[in-house]
């Protein structure tokens, strides 16, 4: 998970304004042929989650799944941003900002057992579901752009 923090820090701090984020810089952030091995880690965490014996373990593993799903979203976002025009980049950035602001609210709405030890698991699961929908959208848009090129 540390590489995610490094990527985010590099993206946010090292590259300046997201509106000036150039295609040549994006390629340096995520090489076209690099696909981080998040799927095996996700599958492992989900497998461990099924076998978890305590609520705290389930809460922790569900958080890991949410974080890895967010990392996949970040990669899809950067790749789509890289393939977008300047005008599309501004629109995508603003759209993603609004989406990120809405995600905690969606996670909170997924909690049925307020105040209980199950609440973090429910929140994490709602966040994953919300993020997976956005991930599917960004991937579909990226695929459409890729097939046009």
The reply to whether 29 falls in a domain is no
Mean pLDDT of the chain: 82
* More reliable by pLDDT, 70 or 42: 70
pLDDT at 41 over 70: yes
The reply to whether 24 falls in a domain is no
3-state secondary structure the chain: CHHHHHHHHHHHHHCCCHHHCCHHHHHHHCCCCCCCCHHHHHHHHHHHHHHCCCHHHHHHHHHHHHHHHHHHHHHHHHHHHHCCCHHHHHHHHHHHHHHHHHHHHHHHHCCCCCCCCCHHHHHHHHHHHHHHHHHHHHHHHHHHHHHHC
How far, CA to CA in Å, does 9 sit from each of 33, 117, 127? 22, 32, 22
The reply to whether 99 falls in a domain is yes
Number of domains comprising the chain: 1
Q: How high is the pLDDT of residue 114?
A: 77
pLDDT at 16 over 50: no
Residue 62's pLDDT band, with cuts at 50, 70 and 90, is very high
Q: What is the rounded average pLDDT of the residues 35-57?
A: 84
The reply to whether 28 falls in a domain is no
Residue 118 — φ and ψ, nearest 5°? Answer: -80, -20
pLDDT digits (tens, 9 = 90+) for 101-124: 999 999 999 999 977 899 999 999
- Domain CATH code at residue 66: 1.20.1270
In terms of residue numbers, what domain contains 90? 37-148
pLDDT at 12 over 60: no
The reply to whether 26 falls in a domain is no
pTM, two decimal places = 0.76
Q: How high is the pLDDT of residue 31?
A: 67
């Amino acid at each position: 998970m540390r590489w995610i923090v490094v990527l985010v820090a590099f993206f946010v701090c090292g590259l300046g304004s997201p509106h000036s984020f150039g295609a040549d810089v994006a390629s340096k952030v995520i090489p076209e042929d690099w696909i981080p091995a998040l799927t095996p880690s996700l599958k492992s965490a989900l497998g461990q989650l099924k076998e978890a014996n305590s609520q705290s373990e389930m809460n922790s593993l569900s958080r890991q799944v949410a974080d890895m799903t967010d990392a996949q979203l970040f990669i899809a976002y950067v790749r789509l941003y890289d393939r977008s025009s300047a005008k599309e980049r501004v629109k995508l950035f603003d759209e993603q900002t609004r989406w990120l602001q809405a995600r905690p609210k969606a996670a909170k709405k997924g909690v049925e057992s307020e105040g209980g030890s199950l609440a973090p698991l429910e929140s994490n699961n709602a966040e994953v579901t919300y993020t997976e929908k956005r991930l599917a959208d960004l991937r579909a848009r990226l695929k459409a752009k890729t097939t046009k090129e």
